[in-house]
């Protein structure tokens, strides 16, 4: 697999509110994530549910969804965070859907 050069990666983990853990709401949330990944500021993206890897002391399977976004530059990331209409729409549409969000950025 070829590596994609990127200036930074933005990883986001979502724990959905218990009231949203149903098939219908999950489908809506997944459509929202797919739309989010269409932002022109993102160089590459991947999203999904926890992988069915074995339980180990260092593995956390407790989240419902995660996204990994790659940016060509810190400027692209900053544009995504401040004023990207697609990102803003995702946040405003779903901010009440999760009980927890964890962001981990890697340079």
pLDDT tens string 70-88: 999 999 999 999 999 999 9
CA–CA distance, 99 with 20 (Å, rounded to integer): 10
Task: Return the closest-CA partner of residue 16 out of 64, 74, 70.
Answer: 64
**8-55 pLDDT per residue, tens:** 999 999 999 999 999 999 999 999 999 999 999 999 999 999 999 999
Q: Tell me the whole-structure pTM to 2 decimals.
A: 0.92
């Amino acid at each position: 697999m070829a590596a994609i050069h990127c200036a930074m990666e933005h990883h986001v983990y979502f724990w959905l509110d218990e009231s949203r853990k149903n098939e219908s709401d999950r489908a809506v949330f997944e459509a929202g994530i797919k739309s989010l990944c269409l932002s022109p500021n993102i160089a590459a993206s991947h999203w999904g549910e926890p992988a069915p890897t074995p339980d180990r002391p260092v593995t956390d399977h407790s989240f419902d969804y995660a996204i990994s976004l790659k940016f060509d530059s810190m400027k692209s990331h900053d544009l995504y965070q401040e004023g990207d209409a697609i990102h803003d729409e995702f946040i405003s549409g779903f901010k009440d859907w999760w009980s927890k969000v964890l962001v981990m950025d890697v340079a």
